[in-house]
Amino acid sequence: MDHKNGSVVTEFILVGFSGGWELQIFFFVIFFLIYSATVVGNILVIFTVTFSSILHSPMYFLLGNLSFLDMCLSSATTPKIIIDLLTEHKTISIWGCMAQMFFMHFFGGAEMTLLIVMAFDRYVAICKPLHYKTIMNHRLLNRFVILSWIIGFIHTISQMVLTVNLPFFGHNIIDNIFCDLPLVIRLACVETSLELFVVADSGLLSFVCFIFLIASYTFILVTVHQRSPARLSKALSTLSAHIIVVTLFFGPCIFIYAWPFSSFASNKTLAVFYTVITPLLNPIIYTLRNQKMQEAMRKLHFQHFSSTQNF
């Protein structure tokens, strides 16, 4: 190990957004509002799914779980980003940084798996409607949900066991608003192929999942079109919500992790998108476009709440 480059790093410095304090305060207000809406919106979806008497379809259990993961994913980075906007010296301890990356990839990996489970759920519901209730039974659903947590854990731990052991000397400036794997790995004082591993583990994986999901949704639509063209528009309206969510989730991930050698890794707009904005969009997309969800919310007397919050 080369200790000549400087002292052992105990904390990283996050560069954050450029711009004067007016801009920082503007971002602070916007992000604070977005984060509050994310927490309220996702909790609303979880409550509605859990307590409503009309949302018994497996799809809603999965939606409730997706909302939970969204809330966790956003909470892994956004509160720290918001606090940092008001501080001049944005530092994060090395363990805080490792924890941030661990949880981001944990919840992100679980969400990725859950999106595939949701595609499978739509496939069974639309292409095998008569067997839907028997195939998507409670036991299978529980297993799918547990599986998504396990895959999330394996995904994150495989990258983090290698990252925590990296030697950091001297260089400690991260040109972003939170700790992200490609940037942190680049600061390490060692020749490492870890970056390539991350490209495969996060980048390639998101890319493959994305292509797989889009192909599955296309397959479902083609099947519906062949069997009963009349039902195509209904299928299209349910599936388009799923396709939007999948694109918003995977798009930024692919850009950031599949090309970590490029400048996308420190692209703060992309970073904002996949940690701050996407977790809010999911509940909006699913509830605004889903009449059954809206009806369930009204029945649970969330009407006033949901209309003021615009959900």
Ligand X SMILES: *[C@@H]1O[C@H](CO)[C@@H](O)[C@H](O)[C@H]1NC(C)=O
Query: Which residue ranges make up the site for ligand X (CB under 6 A)?
Result: 46, 49-50, 61, 64-65, 68, 141-142, 145
The contacts found for 54-61 with CB under 8 angstroms, 24 or more apart, are 54/292, 54/295, 54/296, 54/299, 55/292, 55/293, 55/296, 57/125, 58/121, 58/136, 58/141, 59/118, 59/121, 59/122, 59/125, 60/293, 61/141, 61/145
User: What's the CA gap between 276 and 268, in Å, rounded?
Assistant: 11
Q: Which two tokens stand for residue 305?
A: 């709440």
CB of 134 to ligand X, least distance (A): 15
User: What's the CA gap between 276 and 271, in Å, rounded?
Assistant: 8
Which residues are within 8 A (CB) of 236 and not within 5 positions of it... i.e. 6 or more apart?
Answer: 221
Task: Rank residues 27 and 68 by Cβ distance to ligand X and give the closer one.
Answer: 68
Task: Rank residues 50 and 307 by Cβ distance to ligand X and give the closer one.
Answer: 50
CB of 296 to ligand X, least distance (A): 12
Q: How far is CA 223 from CA 181, 213, 245, in A?
A: 40, 15, 22
CB of 77 to ligand X, least distance (A): 22
Q: Which residue is nearest to ligand X (CB)?
A: 64
Closest CA to 303 of 311, 185, 58: 311
Task: Rank residues 50 and 303 by Cβ distance to ligand X and give the closer one.
Answer: 50
Closest CA to 110 of 80, 136, 142, 73: 73
Q: Is 310 left (phi over 0), alpha (psi -120 to 50) or beta?
A: left
Task: Rank residues 123 and 207 by Cβ distance to ligand X and give the closer one.
Answer: 123
Task: Rank residues 16 and 58 by Cβ distance to ligand X and give the closer one.
Answer: 58
Task: Rank residues 15 and 140 by Cβ distance to ligand X and give the closer one.
Answer: 140
CB of 99 to ligand X, least distance (A): 24
Task: Rank residues 50 and 87 by Cβ distance to ligand X and give the closer one.
Answer: 50
CB of 231 to ligand X, least distance (A): 26
CB of 46 to ligand X, least distance (A): 4
State residue 170 phi and psi, 5-degree precision. 75, -70
CB of 297 to ligand X, least distance (A): 14
